[in-house]
Structure 1
Amino acid sequence: MTAGQGGEGGGDGAECRMQAALRLARQAVLDRGVVRGAAAVVVHRGQCLAEGIGERGECGRPVTADTQFQIGSITKAMTGLLVAQREAAEPGFLESKVRDHIAWPIHGETTLRHLCTHTSGLPSIWLGLWQRFRFVASALVLRLQGALARVVGSRIARSLPGAGYLESFYERCDDRTLEAWVRSSAAAAAPGKSGAYSNMGAGVVGRVLGDYTGLVKSLLDRLHMRRSGLNLATAEPAQGYTANGLPVPWWTFTGSIIAAGGVYSTANDMAKLCQALLGAGEVAAWFKAAREPLAGMFGMFWVCREGRSLHNGQTLGFHSFLGVEGDSAVAVLANGAVMEIDEVANGMLDVLIKGHTDKYPPKAVPKSLRVGRAACEPFVGVYDASSLAPGSELKVGYAPVRRALTLQITGQPWFAAYLVEGETSVFYAASVKVTLAFTPHEAKLSQQGVEFRFV
Structure 2
Amino acid sequence: MGKKTVIALVAGVVAGLAGLGVMPREPRLTEQTTGDADLAAATRAAVDDPGGYRGLAVALIDDGQIRTAGLGDRDRAGNPVESDTPFEIGSVPKVLTGMLLAHQAGVGAVRPDDTLGATWPTVTGAAREATLAELASHRSGLPRVVLSSVTDWARLFWANFAAGNPYAGQDVDRVRAAANDQTPGDGRGEVSYSNLGMAVLGQALAADAGLGYPELLDRELLTPLGMTATTQVTGSDALPAERAEGATGSGRTPDPWTGTGYAAAGIGYWSTVEDLARLVAATAVGTAPGADARDPRFDDTERRRVGYGWFTTRYGDREITWHNGATSGFHSYVGFDRATGQGVVVLGNTDRGVEPIGLRLLDVPREQAGDASPGRPALIGIGIAVLFTFIGGLSLLGTALRTASDRLTVLSGAVWALVYPALGHQLGDWSAVPGWLWPLGLAASGAGLALAAYRWRHLPVNGAPRPWLRVAATAGSLAVATTLTAALLA
The answer as to whether partners of 1:24 and 1:360 remain within 8 angstroms in 2 is no
Cα distance per residue 1:192-226 (max 9 Å; x no partner): 34332111111111111113111222222212222
Offset at residue 358 of structure 1 (A): 3.7
Using the alignment, how far apart are the partners of 2:176 and 2:370 within structure 1? 43
2:146 to 123, 126, 135: 126
The answer for the alignment partner of 2:216 in structure 1 is 215
For residues 143 and 101 of structure 2, the distance between their equivalents in structure 1, rounded to whole angstroms, comes to: 21
CA distance in 1, matches of 2:47, 2:81: 11
CA contact (8 A) 1:171 1:254 kept: no
Q: Which amino acid aligns with 1:135?
A: R
**Corresponding residue to 2:181 among 174, 181, 184:** 184
Residue 230 of structure 1, aligned match among 229, 232, 242: 232
Confirm or deny: 8 A CA contact 2:40 2:70 kept in the other structure.
no
Distance 2:352 2:160 in 1: 17
Bigger drift between 109-118 and 220-229 goes to: 220-229
Structure 1 pair 240–184 and aligned structure 2 pair: CA distance change class (3 A): same
Q: Partner residue of 1:309? A: 321
Q: Secondary structure at the match of 1:322?
A: strand
Matched, 1:199 2:195: yes
The residue aligned with 2:80 is 62
Cα deviation for residue 57 of structure 1 reads 1.2
SS of residue in 1 equivalent to 2:182: helix
How far did 1:126 drift?
0.8
Alignment counterpart, residue 254 of structure 1, candidates 260, 268, 278: 260
| 1:301 partner letter | G
Three-state SS of the structure 1 residue aligned to 2:352 is coil
Query: How far did 1:72 drift?
Result: 0.8
State the one-letter code of the partner of 1:185: Q
Name the CA distance, whole Å, in 2 between partners of 1:270 and 1:124: 25
Is 1:294–2:298 an aligned residue pair?
yes
- Distance in 1 between residues matched to 2:256 and 2:157, nearest whole Å: 20
In structure 1, what is the equivalent of residue 50 of structure 2?
A: 32
Q: Name the counterpart of 2:348.
A: 334
Q: Secondary structure at the match of 2:298?
A: coil
1:314, CA displacement in angstroms? 0.6
Q: Distance in 2 between matches of 1:303 and 1:216?
A: 20
Aligned position for 2:134: 114
- Within a 5 Å distance, the mapping from 1:311-326 to structure 2 comes to 311-326=323-338
Separation (CA, whole Å) in 2 of partners of 1:179 and 1:279: 35
1:350 aligned onto 2:370:
no
* Secondary structure at 1:330 match in 2: strand
Of 135, 141, 144, the match for 2:155: 135
Alignment of 1:263 onto 2:275: no
Structure with bigger gyration radius: 2
Worse-matched range after superposition: 98-107 or 131-140: 131-140
Query: What is the CA deviation profile of residues 55-81 of structure 1, one whole-angstrom value per residue up to 9, with x for unaligned ones?
Result: 011111011111000111101011111
Could you tell me which amino acid in structure 2 is paired with residue 134 of structure 1?
A
CA drift at 1:125 = 0.7
Structure 2 counterpart of 1:268, which letter? Answer: E
CA–CA distance in structure 2, aligned partners of residues 62 and 134 of structure 1? 37
CA distance in 2, matches of 1:139, 1:289: 32
| 1:99-142 Cα deviation digits (max 9, x unpaired) | 11112124343101111111111111111340354135414752
Give the one of 267, 276, 279 matched to 1:273.
Answer: 279
Amino acid at match of 2:44: R
- The aligned counterpart of 2:165 is 168
Q: What is the TM-score of this pair, normalised by structure 1?
A: 0.64
Structure 1 residue matching 2:51: 3-state secondary structure: coil
Question: 1:273 & 1:323 partners in 2: Cα distance?
Answer: 10
List per-residue Cα deviations over 1:161-214 (Å, max 9, x = no partner).
xx6xxx23323111221122223322x535734332111111111111113111
**Structure 1: gaps (5+ residues):** 4-17, 143-162, 366-429, 431-455
2:89–2:331 Cα contact (<8 Å) kept:
yes
Task: Tell me how far 1:359 sits from its aligned partner.
Answer: 4.5
State whether residues 54 and 73 of structure 2, in contact with CA within 8 Å, keep that contact through their aligned partners in structure 1: yes
Identical counterparts, % of pairs: 30
- Assess, with a 3 A threshold, how the Cα gap between structure 1 residues 30 and 195 changes in structure 2: closer, same or farther: closer
- Alignment map for 1:393-408 (pairs within 5 Å): none
SS at match of 1:86: helix
Question: Is the contact between residue 126 and residue 184 of structure 1 (CA under 8 Å) also seen in structure 2?
Answer: no
Instruction: State which drifts further: 117-126 or 270-279.
Output: 270-279
SS at 1:93 equivalent: coil
Matching residue's letter, 1:337: D
Q: C-alpha distance in 2, partners of 1:125/1:315?
A: 15
Between the aligned partners of 2:288 and 2:260, the Cα distance in structure 1 is 29
Distance 1:195 1:364 in 2: 22
SS at match of 1:62: coil
Q: Hey, what does 1:95 align to over in structure 2?
A: 113
Give deviations 1:221-241, integer Å, cap 9, x for gaps: 212222221125422211111
Q: Is the 8 A contact 2:293 2:310 kept in 1?
A: no
More strand by share: 1
- Are 1:239 and 2:245 counterparts? yes
Aligned-CA RMSD value: 2.9
Deviates more, 1:171-180 or 1:326-335: 171-180
Deviation at 1:361, TM superposition (A): 8.0
Show CA shifts across 1:368-412 (max 9, x none): xxxxxxxxxxxxxxxxxxxxxxxxxxxxxxxxxxxxxxxxxxxxx
Which residue identity lines up with residue 294 of structure 2 in the other structure? A
Per-residue deviation, 1:29 = 6.3
Q: State the AA in 2 paired with 1:121.
A: G
Paired residues of 1:55 and 1:61 also in contact (CA < 8 A): yes
Distance in 2 separating the partners of 1:224 and 1:324: 19
The letter of the residue matching 1:100 is A
1:242 partner SS: coil
Aligned residues: 319
Which of 90, 102, 110 is 1:84 aligned to?
Answer: 102
1:344, 1:361 within 8 Å by CA — same for their partners in 2? no
